Chains A and B, each alone.
Chain A
């Protein structure tokens, strides 16, 4: 034993010292500020007027307006003040808002159908990927499958390059199959990309569930599928939730394929948002409003599954 080792330690070795704790909280706060600030800026920009949004130096204090949101949801045309004066008085607050800028509402914009597309494609592909992934992962985990290791590697290898690398072959394929600019096509595509992630993640989770549970259920009178549904799935909920979030985040945010393969019917929010054009260029408040709305579902989904997600990310770290 050296002299240093025999010296008694005054502080606990399991409890962090106050200084270490303060340092750690400082780091976390700094990280939170860095990540949350841009989001806050977007939320704030959505309530700015056009001129405030592009003001330099940037305005932190400003007069909030709903113009951004109105612009996002409507298509407007500019009219002469004479024409506007002849119109009957505005029916609603947003009519009024628009007329102050010498414009009239010509109709709804495409944001709602685009948003619906995003919801259908995002959640649809997530559901499919998790559903197929669970079945495949269960089979890999429980049955003796010939060449299982090779198959698993093959599944993983589909993620070894950025999906966009195969954009052109996929584009050509989709054109042949008439799948371009269809929701079904996008769901299939995102499912294909996500299912490998789902299989690998879920296999890890299912491996951790002792086989005895389903075997007990099999002996007690369930069929294999019943045992999977009633005994394995409830215990894999954590893993399924975590996997679902990862899949949804990918398919929700995916941009490159969406730009390439969708233009009208099946266009999702990511390619739609950057092209919200106002008079004289980008309509930043409307873009910010769209971004804010776009973030909401995924935040809600994550918050709902947060408990599972936390346990899911740390799975295997501590044995029960």
Chain B
């Protein structure tokens, strides 16, 4: 098991820069998710860690050893692909044993290790089946088995659940996390699905346009987003942004929002007059007649225990998560109240969070 350190890693293809100078450390045994929209550079970063792509600049250290230009095979890491990449001309057992065969291990030992791995993944009964006959979930288990059998320093997974249907994905999420807890291997997991990242990862790196926007635990990333991008990307529906213009003074506990004052967490930095955005998670909005922001109910989406109510306000459309027992009439004029301690402030110009008692603003590992 190993610690992975990325230093100023950059990768460009001709004119296009896929990954821009990211630096971070993945601690030994961490389940580390790289989350972002497609084309944000997360897969390229992963492929560079694996050695399938060479960086344009920067370093990759595995347990302190510089492996930037080592062959993939010399890094002792395992890679799980989105399409599983099971060799169609081999059966399940041969697929799982393949990495050991590459290493030239004795046949008897390979068989034992394959058995052991299959037992862990509960696919012993499939060992002599053809891979083409397997269900999506079983293929995924075989792919995991092929990764595990070698007991590598780290697992790299590129959207491993992306090809599964929703129901199965949920099940595999649980299995993957469970597996991680048992073998405690450093895992780097690339996904564009925030639910996967939030439910499995110890640490999440949110990436955008080749840059790491924020690294933190799922709670940190959700509660204290470092940028508007993170706030918008994570959470469903995403954080609401209410635009206003104003200056900020360190120590203030309220801001001038258009013609009213709104309570916010204590501000920790001074700012000259600039376009700002107030960030509110849907669950931190309440209906209150005395609310400073008023609007008209536009629609409601029933979700079982909660409902998402969209309200047209003078500052844009806002989504609120209310208990589904609350009765809402479309077209109704209502006042909105925000949970002051949980609000976030963003500088629209840079897109970065402003430091408050709730969040320390942008931080980079």
Contacts and interface: CB of A to CB of B under 8 A. Distances in A.
A212 interface: yes
A232 to B, nearest CB: 10
B85 interface: yes
Nearest to A224: B71
B103 A221 contact: yes
Contact of B98 (A210, A212, A220, A234): A220
Contact of A219 (B79, B83, B89): B79
Interface of A: 210, 212-213, 215-223, 226, 231, 234-235
B211 interface: no
Contacts of A231: 87
A2 to B, nearest CB: 39
B349 interface: no
B145 interface: no
Contacts of A218: 51-52, 71-73
Given A215-B52, A216-B81, A216-B146, A221 B87 contact: no
Closest CB pairs A-B (n = 5): A221-B102, A212-B85, A220-B99, A212-B81, A219-B79
A213 B360 CA distance: 44
Contact of B52 (A210, A219, A222, A226): A219
Interface string B77-91: 111011111011100
B99 A221 contact: yes
B73 A219 contact: yes
B102 A234 contact: no
Interface of B: 50-52, 71-73, 75, 77-79, 81-85, 87-89, 98-99, 102-103, 146, 150
A219 B146 CA distance: 11
A226 B51 CA distance: 17
Given A218-B71, A220-B146, A220-B150, 15 more contacts: A212-B81, A212-B84, A213-B87, A215-B79, A215-B81, A216-B85, A216-B146, A220-B73, A220-B78, A221-B99, A221-B102, A222-B102, A223-B73, A226-B102, A235-B89
8 contacts: A210-B83, A215-B81, A216-B79, A217-B98, A220-B98, A223-B73, A226-B102, A231-B87
B79 to A, nearest CB: 4
Contacts of B79: 215-216, 219
A216 B101 CA distance: 13
Contacts of A220: 73, 78, 98-99, 102, 146, 150
Nearest to B80: A216
Contacts of A235: 88-89
B104 to A, nearest CB: 9
B48 to A, nearest CB: 13
